[in-house]
Amino acid sequence: MSYSITDSCNGCGACARLCPVDAIHGEKKEKHRIDKLLCIECGACGRVCPEGAILDAAGNPCTMIKRSQWEKPRFDRKICTSCNICIDACPVGCLDLSEPDDRKDPHGYPCMKVEKACIGCGFCAAECPVGAVTMAVE
């Protein structure tokens, strides 16, 4: 399943600009469409649509949320294994490994590299096998 766009779409293009996998296309001021083979169900389009024209994979309408209210990942270093799964799962590449803090712990840990790029999809938290990543509004 993938997200879809209803006739309420006014063709503003906000969703297409945000889509991390280039799955949304359409002419300006015309109804856009989502390529279901490319959609990764990140939900960014639904959170940004001012018309409430996006349906999620289950067919439920999405609600626009102010960007400042989007959830962002938080990392618990005590639990984190530095396994990179969260970094690999991020569809916009906003996470990266930190440089080590000191010689006693030479590991890098995941951190927010480009905060503005985060779309609040929560894939990082969903894929973390040990629950070291949680999503919260700042």
Partner 1 sequence: MKGKSGYTGKILNVDLDGGTMSEETIPDEIYESHLSGMGLAAALLYDRIPAGADPLGPDNILGIVSGLLTGTGSFFTGRWMVVGKSPLTGGWGDANCGGSFAPAIKRCGYDGIFFRGISERPVYLLVKNGTPQLRDAAHLWGMDAVETEELLIEEHGNGARVACIGPAGENRSLISGISNDRGRLAARSGLGAVMGAKRLKAVVLAGKGRIHAHDPDEMKRLSAACNKWVRFQPPFVSGPFTAKIGALLRVMPTQMAQDGMLFKIILKKWGTACMNQMSIEMGDSPIKNWTGSNRDFGTDRSKPTNPDAIIERERIKYHCYSCPLGCGGICTMEGKYTETHKPEYETILALGGLCMNADADSLFEMNEMLNRAGMDTISAGSTVAFAIECYERGIITKEDTGGLELTWGNAPAIVELVQKMITREGIGDLLADGSKFAAERIGKNSAAFAMHAGGQDLPMHDGRNDPGFALHYSVEPTPGRHTIGAQLYYEMFQLWRKVKDLPKAQMLYSKDRKFETGEDKAIKAAACSKYVNVMNGAGLCLFSAFLGAHRLPLFEWLNAATGWNKTAEEYLEIGERIQTLRQAFNIKHGIKPRTFVIPNRALGKEPLSEGANKSRTVDIEPMIRDYWRLFGWDETSGNPKEESIKRLGIKQ
CB of 118 to partner 1, least distance (A): 14
Dihedral sign (CA 25, 26, 32, 37): negative
* 3 versus 123: smaller Cβ distance to partner 1: 123
Specify which residues 79 forms β-bridges with. none
CB of 10 to partner 1, least distance (A): 25
* 8 versus 81: smaller Cβ distance to partner 1: 81
Q: How far is Cα of residue 62 from the mean position of the Cα atoms in its chain? A: 14
By CB atoms closer than 10 A (0-12, 13-18, 19+), residue 7 is: exposed
Radius of gyration of the chain (CA): 17
* 2 versus 10: smaller Cβ distance to partner 1: 2
- Which residues are near partner 1 by CB under 8 A? 20-22, 35, 37-38, 40-41, 81-85, 88-89, 91, 93, 97, 99-100, 106-108, 123, 127, 129-131
CB of 89 to partner 1, least distance (A): 8
